[in-house]
Each structure stands twice: as structure tokens, then as C-alpha cells.
């Protein structure tokens, strides 16, 4: 607004000078050597006060006052200074514009108050005079030069264009000292001197010239530049020195050190011109600084590593999701409806546990242990196929075998096959043998071969018992009964029957009667060490008519139940886990078998009641290890419960696994026999479980995949760092995106080569 006012006044004065007429108008001149000139040159002394006088002549009418106005004075380089006007003899403050200044005589003395020149050279401005109310005006152009320029000093630099490079450290955030790696700020050092060495330099400053080029944010001299002059910190090199000493003695030079800070990666071009108050203009005062800023290798290393790992994990995730879907499909197929109808023998319990385990593992370790999961599913599938065959054979036997003794013996044979299977994965030989035995048992449904298979199974059992039974080994009160049964069997299985009939040629009903005789003898022999039970069974054989064999079975089962009840009452029924020498080898996800034992009456464990006719309800608690740092106020590891399982079985055995390191505790077993009161066993058996070696969080993939990943990472690092990260201005977002794409591409190339290798191996 001030400049506009001044120029309006100046314009009005110039217009008035053109239009004014009259010979008696007053004329104003300056009291200098060329009073008639409208352009004058003045020298500013060291005091900064330039005295001048404004003279008036040729006026018929005296002017009572005048208005004076000074414009800004500007150098050829565009540097401006504010010059103030002081009216002598008037109590007016120093101003660039003085209004209504009294002018009574022929001379008005004034002073120009000139500040110190920021740069050398001439500064030009105007002084305008106007007479209020009369339209009179005069404008003088004034050139100011410093008296100090009488010394012909010329500032020069010891170098012109300069290029520097810098590497940024990896900092967590800008302006903080927490950085990874050592970085460096670009520094430029120049020496300032007089060109001839004969004159001093005073008030050394600098300013930016056109041609500034930056990367990222704009360049700010106060924020991004730190300078020193001869080792002393300069507040602002681009401002007037003020009270700072920025002088250079004749024949000497000054060292200006400029440190550029907070620069983003990229290339900067910063044109700087140095000047001094008493220096002439010279091309050697221009310094063009080119700065190339780049990030260090460590961020590039992290980006390539992250890209390779992310590509590897993403590939693993995609492939694992496919495998997981296939696993879960297999798991669902391993739960057919018929499996729920199978009696919970040990093999069935183990299969159910393995199916549940495979499902749990496929959800929890979906990036690890794929080979182990596939192995477990294969083992479970083999057991499922075998049990499916068992289910099929059982259904056919129950459907086609009408004779109760034959059906009973066939079911006993099927139970014996299941007993041989047990728990745990089966080898190929075991699977072949079990399937062969099932095929042979299924042949019983053929009416033409049924009797032959029945007799082929019964005859060896009779002969085996005849070889081990000794009449004198049984209690005396039943020796006659045992002897009679032995004679009947020996006579029936002798090579030559009365009348010349071979044993195999006996009619079927005769063979079934021989089986009843065999069962009676077998039971009496098993009870020889139980006098009371032996006496009861012998009593059944002294009745007329002879008690049926089913009654004998009932009496024996009740006797066995009573013996078991007595053992449980005396706390002699125990639960046994793995052998003591194998406890340290029990790992998570490995099945552990528990069995009911009667150390006080070992023969009780072999009775048919214990092995086939009771129902066992197991209560098993799973615990995990709680480390000391998770246990408040404790320095020892503790355990926490993962849950309680309740498992039913028709055999005195059960198989279970722990999903993690900790303990498997059998807290209770209830034994049921029909509608009788259940027996309760509280064994509190604890089996410690170690961490699984096959399923661990750190086991991301197989060794071959880890090795391939390592090779891909090394190749990506070497090539990526050489191609991208060594560039002089590396560090922009697009550079990191290119580097990330490169690292991921190298890993995907590795995957492609592996896929080709796998396809080639599959074709061979």
C-alpha cells in the first residue's frame, strides 16, 4: 500500500510537470554540482547520512510547505534497502514520506538516512517533491553508492559447480536419534577471498538464484541448511550479518561450511551466489551445489527379505489351503455312519481319536507339518478301510449264519481279529494278514463251506485244550465231571470213530454238541483256582437234565463279576499306562494306551467277561504346561486343564492323545455290567507328555523348502542391491516398489522351477 501511494504521488507529479504552465511557477533544484539535472549520484559516507539541500527559485508566490517522498532503493541484483528522509530544523521523525514540510526560505536542508548496504553495488531510487494545493511537483532520480566501494574488492570462491552424495540412515521417525545404521549429511565447504588479495571483504552474505531444483519437500534455507563462517555458527547465511562478524581480511580467506539436513532421497540442484558489501559482481561468486541423496542398503535389504518371505508365506498359504481343504474332505470321509454303529473296541477308539487329531492339526498347524498330517491321514485311512471290512463281515455273518453256535464262534473269531489289530498304525504286512483273515472268515457265509470252516476253527481249539487239561489239577469234587468231558472230546476227535467215521464226517449237530462240551471243559479248567466258582459250575453239570451251556456262561460271568467287584473293593483294580521305560518318549499327538489290570487276580484279566462283555467309561483330563513367566508368583512350571474327555469302550483298553505338551491324567473309570451297580475305579494315573518334534511353530516347511528359500533370498539380495539399491538417488517410493517386486519375483521364479521339477519327477 505504501509503494502504491508513492507511485501515485510520483505519477501525479510527472503529469503535473507536463501540463503545468506559467512563467512565474517556482522551480526546485538540489544544491549539488549539477543543479539543473534530474538524475544525480550520491556517495554514502560511513555514517550513513547524506546531506542535500532543496533550492527554490523563480517563484512569485512563496510555498508555505511541501510534501517529500522517497522510494525504495534497489540494486542491479534486485536487493532493496529502505532509505529514510530527515528534515533539518524540524521536529519530524525520520520517514520515507514527509508531509507538509515547512518551506519558508529559498533552501530546505534535509538528510538521507541510508542503512548499510547488504551487497555491493549501486542502489537507485527517486525523491519526489510536491506543493500541496498548487499542483507543482519535481522528481529526482538518485543513485547511491557506498564510500567503501572506493576499495575495488571482488569476492570470489575457490570452486564453482560441486556434486556431493549422501546416504540416509534408517530412522523410525524423522528428527529422532533412534536410527539403524550410520548415515551422513551432505556437506559443502568453500573458501571466500578477495580476487586480488589486496582488499578486505565485509558483510559476506549469500542468496539463492533461479534454477533451484528439489526432491520431495521444498528447500528452506533456515530449516534445511546449517552454516558456519570460520568455524562460528551463522544464524542465517542468507540474511544481513547484523552484529555477526563476516569479514575477510586482505590476503586472507574465510571458510564457509554448509551442511544440508533433512533431505529426502533424490537429486537437488541449489544455485547460491555469495556477495559482500564492498564487492563488485563477478561470475566466480556463483556456487551450484548438486546433492544426490540415497537411502542406505539396510532398508533395501529389509524390503527384499520381506518380499521373499511374504511371497514364500503367501505361496505356502495358498498351497496349504488347498491341502487343508483336501485334508478336511478326507476327514469328513472318515466319519461314515456305520462307524458310529461299531462297538467301541480299541481299534475303533484309536481311529476316532486319529480322525479328531487330524482335523485339529489341520486347523492349528495349517502351515506346518504337512507331511506328518498326510502320514497320519494315510494311517487312519488304512485303519478305516480295515474296520469297514470288519463291519461288512460282521453284517454278513449276522445275516447268513442262522445256527447260534456257528454265529457265536464266528463272532468270537472276528473279535480275535480285532484284538490282534489293537491300537496304532498298522504295517502293510499287518493289513494284508488282517484282510486275509477277514476274507477267510467271510467265507463262512457260503452254505457249502460253512461247516468245514466251522470245524476247522473248532477242532484246533479242542485239541489245544485236551493237551493242557489234567484231571488231577482240578479240585477233587469235580474231577469226575472234568474226566467225563475230556473222554467225550477225545473220543470225538480221535482219528477213527466207532463204525469207521472220521471226525470231519460227523454231522453238524454232533459238531455243535462237541463245541458245547468243549466250552464246559474250558470254563471248568479256567475256574480250577476259584473253588467256589468251580463248585457252582460243577453243580450245573450234575443236574438232570443237564443245564444248558448258556446257563454255565451266565454263572461264570456272574462269578467273574463278583471277583472283579472284590478286587475293586480292595483297591486292587488299577489302570496301567505306558511302560515306565517309555514314559520319557511320549510326545504330543502320539496316542497313549491305558488298560485295566487286576494284579491281585491276574487270571481275571483273561475272562470273557472282562474282555468282551463289560462297558468301560473313562474320564481323562488333558493338561498343558504353564511356563513360570505365565504363573504369577511362581518360579516353577505349572499345568492348566485343557478339558476333560469321557470315552466309552467295550474292551478294558482305551487310546488317547494330548494336543500339546503337558499331562494325560486318567481320573476315573466306571465299569458297567448290564443293570448291575457300576464299579468305580479312581486310579489317578498321570502320563507326562513332551513337546512334539513333528509339529512345531518354528517348523515352517520342510528342509528342502527352507534351503530353496535361502537360495532365493541370497539371489534376490545380491541382484536387487546391485541393480536398484546402488543407484545414486535410491529411496523413492517407486524404488522400493520395484525392489519389492524384484524380491517377490525371484521367489516366484524359484517356485516355478520347483513346480517344473515336480511335474518332471511325476511323469517319470
- pLDDT tens column, 127-155: 998 888 776 688 899 998 876 665 568 89
If one counts the domains in the chain, the total is 6
Secondary structure of residue 171 in the 3-state scheme: strand
- pLDDT tens column, 478-530: 999 999 999 988 888 875 445 545 666 788 888 889 889 999 999 899 888 88
Judged by average pLDDT, the poorest of 268-277, 587-596, 751-760 is: 751-760
Distance CA 406, CA 393 (A): 14
Do 7 and 143 lie in a common domain?
yes
Q: How confident is the model at residue 274 (pLDDT cuts 50, 70, 90)?
A: very high
Distance CA 336, CA 234 (A): 87
Do 539 and 618 lie in a common domain?
no
| pLDDT at residue 533 greater than cutoff 50 | yes
Do 173 and 287 lie in a common domain?
yes
How many other C-beta atoms are found inside a 10 Å radius of the C-beta of residue 98? 21
| pLDDT at residue 261 greater than cutoff 50 | yes
pLDDT value, residue 156 = 93
The answer to whether residue 568 sits within a structural domain is no
Q: Residue ranges of the alpha helices (H) in 334-446?
A: 346-364, 370-400, 404-421, 428-442
Max Cα-Cα span within the chain? 185
Distance CA 593, CA 653 (A): 7
pLDDT value, residue 138 = 86
| pLDDT at residue 59 greater than cutoff 70 | no
- pLDDT tens column, 565-577: 888 888 888 998 8
Kindly report the CATH number assigned to the domain that includes residue 613. 2.60.40
Q: How confident is the model at residue 21 (pLDDT cuts 50, 70, 90)?
A: very low
| pLDDT at residue 254 greater than cutoff 90 | yes
Question: Is 704 exposed, middle or buried, given 0-12, 13-18 or 19+ CB atoms closer than 10 A?
Answer: exposed
The answer to whether residue 216 sits within a structural domain is yes
* Max mean pLDDT range (136-140, 290-294, 731-735, 751-755): 290-294
| pLDDT at residue 191 greater than cutoff 90 | yes
Q: How confident is the model at residue 9 (pLDDT cuts 50, 70, 90)?
A: very low
The answer to whether residue 273 sits within a structural domain is yes
- pLDDT tens column, 707-749: 777 888 888 888 888 887 777 787 778 888 888 888 888 878 8
Do 348 and 402 lie in a common domain?
yes
**170 compared with 315, residue with greater pLDDT:** 315
| pLDDT at residue 402 greater than cutoff 50 | yes
The answer to whether residue 695 sits within a structural domain is no
pLDDT value, residue 37 = 57
Cell numbers for 736, please give them. Answer: 522400493
The answer to whether residue 329 sits within a structural domain is no
Secondary structure of residue 408 in the 3-state scheme: helix
pLDDT value, residue 502 = 61
Q: Which residue reads 528447500 in cell numbers?
A: 219
The answer to whether residue 694 sits within a structural domain is no
- pLDDT tens column, 208-253: 988 899 887 788 888 888 999 998 898 888 888 876 788 898 889 9
Kindly report the CATH number assigned to the domain that includes residue 139. 2.60.40.10
pLDDT value, residue 14 = 38
Phi, psi dihedrals of residue 432, rounded to the nearest 5°: -65, -45
Please, how many CA atoms are within 13 Å of residue 4, restricted to the half-sphere of its CB? 1
Exposed e or buried b per residue across 162-193, where buried means at least 16 C-beta atoms within 10 angstroms of its C-beta: eebebbbebeeeeeeeeeeeeeebbebebebb
Q: What is the pTM of this model?
A: 0.58
Q: How confident is the model at residue 74 (pLDDT cuts 50, 70, 90)?
A: very high
Distance CA 736, CA 55 (A): 75
CB 166 within 8 A of CB 265: no
Do 426 and 471 lie in a common domain?
no
Cell numbers for 4, please give them. Answer: 502504491
* Max mean pLDDT range (111-120, 139-148, 392-401): 392-401
| pLDDT at residue 33 greater than cutoff 70 | no
Q: How confident is the model at residue 635 (pLDDT cuts 50, 70, 90)?
A: low
Residue 169 CB contacts under 8 Å (≥ 6 apart), including other chains: 179, 180, 181, 182, 183, 296
Do 596 and 667 lie in a common domain?
yes
Residue 140 CB contacts under 8 Å (≥ 6 apart), including other chains: 30, 38, 39, 40, 126, 127, 128
CB 26 within 8 A of CB 58: yes
| pLDDT at residue 182 greater than cutoff 90 | no
- Structural domain of 139: 2-147
What mean pLDDT is reported for the chain?
81
Q: Identify the domain boundary among 117, 147, 177.
A: 147
**Mean pLDDT within 673-680:** 86
Do 291 and 168 lie in a common domain?
yes
Q: How confident is the model at residue 619 (pLDDT cuts 50, 70, 90)?
A: very high
pLDDT value, residue 256 = 94
Amino acid at each position: 500500500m505504501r509503494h502504491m501511494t508513492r507511485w501515485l504521488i510520483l505519477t501525479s507529479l510527472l503529469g503535473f510537470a507536463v501540463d503545468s504552465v506559467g512563467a512565474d511557477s517556482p522551480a526546485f533544484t538540489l544544491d549539488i554540482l549539477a543543479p539543473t539535472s534530474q538524475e544525480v549520484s550520491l556517495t554514502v559516507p560511513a555514517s550513513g547520512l547524506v546531506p542535500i539541500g532543496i533550492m527554490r527559485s523563480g517563484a512569485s508566490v512563496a510555498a508555505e510547505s511541501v510534501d517529500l517522498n522517497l522510494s525504495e532503493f534497489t540494486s542491479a541484483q534486485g536487493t532493496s534497502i529502505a532509505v529514510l528522509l530527515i528534515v533539518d530544523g524540524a521536529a519530524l521523525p525520520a520517514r520515507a514520506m514527509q508531509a507538509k514540510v515547512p518551506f519558508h526560505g529559498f533552501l530546505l536542508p534535509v538528510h538521507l538516512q541510508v542503512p548499510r548496504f547488504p551487497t555491493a553495488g549501486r542502489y537507485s531510487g527517486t525523491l519526489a517533491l510536491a506543493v500541496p494545493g498548487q499542483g507543482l511537483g519535481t522528481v529526482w532520480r538518485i543513485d547511491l553508492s557506498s564510500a567503501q566501494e572506493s576499495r575495488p574488492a571482488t569476492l570470489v570462491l575457490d570452486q564453482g559447480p560441486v556434486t556431493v552424495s549422501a546416504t540416509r540412515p534408517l530412522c523410525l521417525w524423522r528428527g529422532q536419534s533412534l536410527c539403524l545404521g550410520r548415515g551422513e549429511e551432505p556437506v559443502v565447504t568453500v573458501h571466500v577471498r578477495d580476487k586480488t588479495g589486496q582488499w578486505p571483504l565485509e558483510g559476506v552474505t549469500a542468496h539463492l538464484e533461479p534454477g533451484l531444483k528439489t526432491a520431495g519437500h521444498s528447500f528452506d534455507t533456515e530449516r534445511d541448511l546449517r552454516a558456519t563462517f570460520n568455524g562460528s555458527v551463522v544464524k542465517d547465511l542468507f540474511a544481513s550479518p547484523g552484529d555477526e562478524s563476516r569479514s575477510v581480511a586482505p590476503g586472507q580467506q574465510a571458510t564457509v561450511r554448509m551442511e544440508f539436513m533433512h533431505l529426502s532421497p533424490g537429486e537437488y540442484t541449489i544455485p547460491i551466489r555469495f556477495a559482500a558489501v564492498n564487492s563488485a559482481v563477478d561470475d566466480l561468486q556463483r556456487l551450484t551445489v548438486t546433492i544426490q541423496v540415497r537411502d542406505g542398503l539396510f532398508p533395501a535389504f529389509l524390503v527384499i527379505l520381506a518380499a521373499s518371505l511374504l511371497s514364500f508365506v503367501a505361496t505356502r498359504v495358498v498351497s496349504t489351503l488347498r491341502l487343508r481343504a483336501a485334508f478336511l474332505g478326507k476327514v469328513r470321509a472318515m466319519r461314515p455312519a456305520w462307524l458310529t454303529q461299531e462297538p467301541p473296541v480299541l481299534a475303533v477308539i484309536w481311529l476316532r481319536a486319529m480322525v479328531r487329531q487330524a482335523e485339529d492339526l489341520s486347523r492349528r498347524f495349517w502351515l506346518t507339518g504337512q507331511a506328518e498330517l498326510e502320514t497320519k491321514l494315510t494311517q487312519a485311512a488304512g485303519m478305516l478301510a480295515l474296520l469297514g471290512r470288519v463291519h461288512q463281515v460282521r453284517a454278513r455273518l449276522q445275516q447268513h449264519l442262522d445256527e447260534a453256535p456257528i454265529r457265536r464262534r464266528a463272532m468270537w473269531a472276528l473279535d480275535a481279529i480285532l484284538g490282534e489289530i489293537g491300537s496304532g498304525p498298522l504295517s502293510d504286512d499287518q493289513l494284508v494278514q488282517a484282510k486275509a483273515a477277514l476274507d477267510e472268515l467271510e467265507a463262512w457265509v457260503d452254505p457249502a463251506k460253512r461247516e468245514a470252516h466251522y470245524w476247522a476253527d473248532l477242532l484246533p481249539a479242542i485239541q489245544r485244550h485236551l493237551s493242557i487239561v489234567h484231571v488231577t489239577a482240578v479240585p477233587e469234587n469235580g474231577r469226575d465231571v472234568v474226566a467225563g468231558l475230556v473222554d467225550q472230546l477225545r473220543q470225538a476227535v480221535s482219528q477213527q470213530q466207532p463204525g469207521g467215521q472220521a471226525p470231519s464226517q460227523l454231522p453238524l449237530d454232533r459238531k455243535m454238541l462237541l463245541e458245547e462240551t468243549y466250552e464246559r471243559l474250558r470254563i471248568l479248567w479256567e475256574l480250577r483256582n476259584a473253588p467256589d466258582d468251580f463248585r457252582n459250575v460243577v453243580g450245573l453239570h450234575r443236574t438232570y437234565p443237564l443245564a444248558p451251556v448258556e446257563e454255565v456262561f451266565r454263572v461264570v460271568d456272574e462269578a467273574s463279576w463278583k471277583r472283579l467287584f472284590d478286587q475293586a473293593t480292595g483297591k486292587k483294580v488299577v489302570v496301567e499306562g505306558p511302560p515306565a521305560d517309555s514314559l520319557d518318549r511320549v510326545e504330543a499327538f502320539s496316542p497313549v494306551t491305558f488298560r485295566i489290570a487286576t494284579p491281585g487276580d491276574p487270571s481275571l484279566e483273561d475272562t470273557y467277561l472282562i474282555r468282551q462283555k463289560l462297558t468301560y467309561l473313562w474320564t481323562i483330563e488333558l493338561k498343558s504346561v504353564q511356563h513360570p513367566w505365565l504363573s504369577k508368583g511362581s518360579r516353577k512350571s505349572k499345568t492348566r486343564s485343557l478339558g476333560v474327555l469321557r470315552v466309552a469302550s467295550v474292551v478294558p483298553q482305551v487310546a488317547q492323545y494330548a494336543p500339546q505338551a503337558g499331562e494325560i491324567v486318567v481320573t476315573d473309570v466306571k465299569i458297567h455290567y448290564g443293570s448291575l451297580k457300576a464299579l468305580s475305579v479312581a486310579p489317578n494315573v498321570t502320563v507326562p507328555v513332551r513337546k512334539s518334534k513333528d509339529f512345531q511353530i518354528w517348523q515352517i516347511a520342510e528342509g528342502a523348502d527352507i534351503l530353496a528359500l535361502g537360495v532365493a533370498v541370497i539371489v534376490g539380495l545380491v541382484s536387487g542391491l546391485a541393480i536398484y539399491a546402488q543407484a545414486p538417488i535410491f529411496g523413492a517410493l517407486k524404488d522400493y516398489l520395484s525392489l519389492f517386486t524384484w524380491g517377490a519375483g525371484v521367489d516366484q521364479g524359484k517356485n516355478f522351477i520347483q513346480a517344473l521339477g515336480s511335474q518332471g519327477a511325476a511323469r517319470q
